[in-house]
C-alpha cells in the first residue's frame, strides 16, 4: 500500500496550477446520461473518483473516450445497455448515486445501489428520493438498492428542501431538465459547482435559471443535445494549497484559481496574518508568509458562501501553529473531526467537544507516522507535515488519490520534500 513521506520545515516558492473541480466534474459526467448525443468535458481532473464514475458509465453502456493523462473526457450515451448501477461500483463513491436521476428522467426507470464514500457521517439520500417522489416517481428501497420508476415520465414540482443539500439540489436539477412542466427548487444550495452544472445543462438545451442561488427554476424540455463544457477550477484544491503555503511559509501563486468562490477562506487567512493577493480577472491567488506569526482565528462551517466544510480539516492543521486558541465548529457533517487525533500525534493541542474543536496553537509540530481517515482529513495531515520538524509518514493515501490530482508533483515543484513510497520499495 502506498504512503507519503514528507520532511517538513521547507518554505514553498513558485507556482501551482489548479485542476478542474472534482465535485463539479462528477455531476457533469452524470449529465451525459441525459442525452443521446456526445458530451465533451474539458479540464477534467485525473482522480480515482472521476475514474470510478467513468467505469460506472461504461457499465451502463456509455462510450467513454478519456486517455490516461488527458483532461478531456468524451462521453456518448446514445444507446445504454443497462439502467442498473451495481453495488460493487456505487459503494466506492457517493457521487455515483447521481446516475439515478438522469436514468429515471430519460428512460423512466432505474435501479441504483445506495451509495458509499467517506465515513464522515450518515449523509442520507432521503432528500434526493423525496424530490423524485414529488416529481411523480415510484420508489422502493430493497436489499440496498433504490428501484425507481416513472413510466409516464417525471412531472414538474415545487420542492422546498428542509435544509440546504448540495447533492440533493444537483440531483433534482439533473432529473428536472427532462421533466414535463416547471420545477422550482427552494432553499437550494448555492455552491459555485451548482452554477457550473446549470451552465453545462443550459448549453445542452436545458432551461434553468437561478443556478447557484437559493431558488432554482427548471423548465422541462423534451430532449437535450450534446455540447462541450470546461469544468470549473477546484476551489477546495486551491484553498488547500493556500493553507499549505500559510503553514509551511513561502511565496506561491495559484493559477487558474476560482478567486470569487474562496472569499470566506481568504478572509480567514488574512485574519490569521497571511498575505493573500487575488486577481479575479487573471484567476490568480498569491499566498505569502515569510516568518510572520500566525494569529488564531475561529471559524464555523456553513453552506456557501460560508466557510466550506471541505476546508475545515486543512484550516485546523493551520491553526495548530497559530498564536492563541481557535474554535472550529463543524455544522455540516457529524463525525468530521477524525483528523484531530492524528494531528495530535504530530504534537498539536486539540480538544474535541461535540461539533466543536478547540485548538491551542503550539510553537512546533514534530514528524510522526499518521493515518488518513477520509479525503479532506488526509490532506490536513500533509499540510501539518509540511510545517513539522522531521519526517512524517502519511498512511492510507488512497483517500488523497480520490480528490487531489498530482499532489506530490505539484508540491515538489514548489520546494516540498515529499515522495510516494510503496511496501515493495522498502
What is d(CA 150, CA 8) in angstroms, rounded to the nearest whole number? Answer: 56
- CB contact at 8 A, 274 and 251: no
pLDDT of 345 strictly over 50: yes
Domain boundaries, the chain: 3-18+233-425, 22-228
Considering only 78-87, 90-99, 203-212, 262-271, which range has the smallest mean pLDDT? 90-99
Q: Which residues contribute to the annotated binding site for UDP-N-acetyl-alpha-D-glucosamine?
A: 94, 123-127, 310, 332
* Percent of the chain whose pLDDT exceeds 70: 97
Does the pLDDT at position 122 exceed 80? no
pTM for this structure? 0.95
- The reported pLDDT for the residue numbered 125 is 85
Residue 389: beta bridge partners? 366
Beta strand pairing call for 158-160 and 145-149: unpaired
Q: Cβ(393)–Cβ(418) under 8 Å?
A: no
Report the relative pairing of strands 284-289 and 250-255 from DSSP bridges.
antiparallel
Mean pLDDT of 198-203: 98
Task: Find the catalytic residue in 118, 150, 365, 377.
Answer: 118
* CB-CB contact of 414 with 10 (8 Å): no
pLDDT band at residue 115, thresholds of 50, 70 and 90? confident
What is the rounded average pLDDT of the residues 172-188? 98
Q: Distance between CA 346 and CA 283 in Å, rounded?
A: 35
CATH superfamily to which 22-228 belongs:
Enolpyruvate transferase domain (3.65.10.10)
pLDDT at position 88 is 86
- Cα 179 to chain centroid distance, Å, stands at 27
pLDDT in tens, 230-285: 999 999 999 999 999 999 999 999 999 999 999 999 999 999 999 999 999 999 99
200 is catalytic: no
Please indicate whether the domains covering 3-18+233-425 and 22-228 agree at the CATH topology level: yes
Tell me which CATH code domain 3-18+233-425 carries: 3.65.10.10
Average of pLDDT values for 117-141? 79
Q: Which residues carry a binding-site annotation?
A: 22-23, 94, 123-127, 310, 332
Asked whether the beta carbons of 351 and 358 are under 8 A apart, the reply is: yes
Per-residue pLDDT, 90: 83
Q: Residue 99 CA to chain centroid, in angstroms?
A: 17
pLDDT band, residue 116 (cuts 50/70/90): low
Binding site listing for phosphoenolpyruvate: 22-23
Res 334: pLDDT? 76
| pLDDT score recorded for residue 426 | 56
Give dist(CA 171, CA 266) in Å, integer.
30
Amino acid at each position: 500500500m502506498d504512503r507519503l513521506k514528507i520532511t517538513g520545515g521547507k518554505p514553498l516558492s513558485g507556482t501551482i496550477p489548479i485542476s478542474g473541480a472534482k465535485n463539479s466534474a462528477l455531476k457533469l459526467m452524470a449529465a451525459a446520461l441525459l442525452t443521446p448525443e456526445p458530451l465533451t468535458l474539458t479540464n477534467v481532473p485525473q482522480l480515482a473518483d472521476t475514474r470510478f464514475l467513468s467505469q460506472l458509465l461504461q457499465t451502463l453502456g456509455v462510450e467513454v473516450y478519456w486517455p490516461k493523462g488527458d483532461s478531456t473526457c468524451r462521453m456518448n450515451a446514445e444507446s445504454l445497455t443497462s439502467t442498473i448501477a451495481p453495488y460493487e461500483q456505487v459503494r466506492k463513491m457517493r457521487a455515483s448515486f447521481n446516475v439515478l436521476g438522469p436514468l429515471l428522467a430519460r428512460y423512466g426507470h432505474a435501479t441504483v445501489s445506495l451509495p458509499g464514500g467517506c465515513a464522515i457521517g450518515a449523509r442520507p439520500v432521503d432528500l434526493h428520493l423525496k424530490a423524485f417522489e414529488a416529481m411523480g416517481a415510484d420508489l422502493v428501497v430493497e436489499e440496498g438498492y433504490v428501484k425507481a420508476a416513472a413510466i409516464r415520465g417525471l412531472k414538474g414540482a415545487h420542492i422546498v428542501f428542509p435544509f440546504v443539500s448540495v447533492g440533493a439540489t444537483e440531483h433534482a436539477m439533473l432529473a428536472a431538465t427532462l421533466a414535463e412542466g416547471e420545477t422550482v427548487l427552494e432553499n437550494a444550495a448555492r455552491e459555485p459547482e451548482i452554477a457550473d452544472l446549470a451552465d453545462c445543462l443550459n448549453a445542452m438545451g436545458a432551461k434553468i435559471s437561478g443556478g447557484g442561488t437559493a431558488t432554482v427554476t427548471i423548465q422541462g424540455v423534451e430532449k437535450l443535445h450534446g455540447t462541450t463544457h470546461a469544468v470549473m477550477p477546484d476551489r477546495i484544491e486551491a484553498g488547500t494549497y493556500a493553507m499549505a503555503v500559510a503553514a509551511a511559509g513561502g511565496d506561491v501563486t495559484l493559477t487558474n484559481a476560482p478567486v470569487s468562490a474562496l472569499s470566506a477562506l481568504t478572509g480567514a487567512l488574512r485574519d490569521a496574518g497571511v498575505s493573500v493577493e487575488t486577481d479575479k480577472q487573471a484567476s490568480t491567488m498569491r499566498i505569502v508568509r515569510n516568518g510572520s506569526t500566525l494569529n488564531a482565528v475561529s471559524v464555523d462551517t456553513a453552506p456557501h458562501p460560508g466557510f466550506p466544510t471541505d476546508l475545515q480539516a486543512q484550516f485546523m492543521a493551520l491553526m495548530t501553529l497559530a498564536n492563541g486558541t481557535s474554535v472550529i465548529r463543524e455544522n455540516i457533517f457529524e463525525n468530521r473531526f477524525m483528523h484531530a487525533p492524528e494531528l495530535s500525534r504530530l504534537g498539536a493541542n486539540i480538544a474535541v467537544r461535540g461539533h466543536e474543536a478547540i485548538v491551542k496553537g503550539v510553537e512546533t509540530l514534530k514528524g510522526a507516522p499518521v493515518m488518513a481517515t477520509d479525503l479532506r482529513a488526509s490532506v490536513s495531515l500533509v499540510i501539518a507535515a509540511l510545517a513539522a520538524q522531521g519526517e512524517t509518514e502519511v498512511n492510507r493515501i488512497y483517500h488523497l488519490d480520490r480528490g487531489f490530482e498530482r499532489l506530490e508533483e505539484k508540491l515538489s515543484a514548489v520546494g516540498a520534500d515529499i515522495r510516494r513510497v510503496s511496501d515493495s520499495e522498502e
